[in-house]
Amino acid sequence: MQALLFDMDGVLYNGTAPIAGAAQALAWVRQQRIPHLFVTNTTSRARSVLVEKLKGFEIFTVEDQIFSPPRATALWLKSQEHGSIALFVPQATHPEFEGFPILPEKAETGARYVVVGDLGKGWNFDMLNRAFRLLHSNPDAELIALGLTRFWQAEDGLRLDTAPFVAALENATRRKALVFGKPAETFFAAAVAKLGLPAGEVLMVGDDVDVDVTGAQRAGLRGALVRTGKFRPSDLTGSFHPDFVLDSVAALPALWGAL
């Protein structure tokens, strides 16, 4: 193993509470100069905000090491043929797309890429229909999804996330979205490409046995499950087979030494 990917929530902290030993484990990773990225499905907060959040837990990193769906999409777009981009993403993620040709807000034709994220209450019929018209008017237009989370728990109850809106557009256009976000293979592949190493030499550490661990394994990485965050003992009795199981991320240095 040459490099590490870390899920954040449930591995390094639970909401606002740090996980014991996480700061020390990450300090060890830095000290050993092990290449690593923090891989998150968050699309509503800028990377600078996530860097500050980690700093609050005494985990020190830089924006370039935060790998989120908007970031992965921007890196991928750089490698693609030039074309106008229509953004349906929260304002906080617009800075990720600075420097790209962004289509004016009312335009209904001319997009080569249609990027859809969690707009929440920002969605309305006209907006969703504009995304549809942009895709329909250009058979080559690529639909890109910033993750495929179906819903999330808000203060007032469950709320639709990105996937249902992407599904509506897929249904209307008979096109399949390219997904950047865990557990999509394209997303893990983009993270591995950023590290510049073969997938088989990268270990993903996560608390979600399906999205983090199995997702990474499907993309050719190895996966370590931590018994913190959303971990439940039943995660180990199903069809999932993590390569490693750790009591918490604090046990990572010992595992690394034994590999």
- Which of residues 10 and 181 has its CB atom nearest to Mg ion in the complex? 10
The closest of 259, 214, 163 to 7, measured between CA atoms, is: 214
On whether the CB atoms of residues 118 and 44 are closer than 8 A, the answer is: yes
> What is the per-residue DSSP string for 7-28?
--BTTTEETTEEPTTHHHHHHH
Cβ 40 to Mg ion shortest distance, Å: 8
Stretch of residues binding Mg ion (CB under 5 A), selected from 84-92, 145-153, 204-212, 220-228 = 204-212
> Which two three-digit tokens encode residue 236?
């180990």
Residue 33 has, within 13 A of its CA and on its CB side, a CA count of: 0
CB of 224 to Mg ion, least distance (A): 13
Give the Cα separation of 256 and 249 in Å (integer).
11
Looking at the Cβ atoms of 47 and 130, the one nearer to Mg ion is 47
Least distance to Mg ion from the beta carbon of 229, Å? 5
Cβ proximity to Mg ion, 177 vs 209, nearer residue: 209
Span near Mg ion by CB under 5 A; candidates 3-11, 13-21, 233-241, 246-254: 3-11
Exposure string of 204-237, with b = 16+ CB inside 10 Å and e = fewer, is bbbbbbebbbbbbbebebbbbbbebbebeeebee
Q: Which is nearer to Mg ion, 117 or 183 (CB)?
A: 183
Q: How far is the CB of 212 from Mg ion (least distance, A)?
A: 6
Nearest distance, CB of residue 200 and Mg ion, angstroms:
23
Q: Applying CB under 5 A, does 207 fall inside the site for Mg ion?
A: yes
Residue 214 DSSP one-character state = I
| Per-residue binding letters, 120-139, with Mg ion (x by CB under 5 A) | --------------------
- Binding status of residue 10 toward Mg ion by CB under 5 A: yes
Closest CB to Mg ion: residue number: 10
At closest approach, how far in Å is the CB of 26 from Mg ion?
A: 15
Backbone conformation region of residue 176, classed left if phi is above 0, alpha if psi is from -120 to 50, else beta:
beta
Contact indicator for 114, 138 with CB cutoff of 8 Å: no
User: For residues 175 and 230, which CB has a smaller minimum distance to Mg ion in the complex?
Assistant: 230
Task: Please answer whether residues 18 and 30 qualify as being in contact, where contact means their C-beta atoms are separated by less than 8 angstroms.
Answer: no
# binding residues, Mg ion (CB under 5 A): 4
Is 215 an interacting residue with respect to Mg ion (CB under 5 A)? Answer: no
One of 4, 7, 37, 87 touching Mg ion (CB under 5 A): 7
In the complex, least distance from residue 8 CB atom to Mg ion, rounded to whole angstroms: 7
Q: Determine, following the binding rule CB under 5 A, whether residue 9 of this chain makes contact with Mg ion.
A: yes
Contact 116, 89 (CB under 8 A): yes
Binding site for Mg ion (CB under 5 A): 7, 9-10, 207
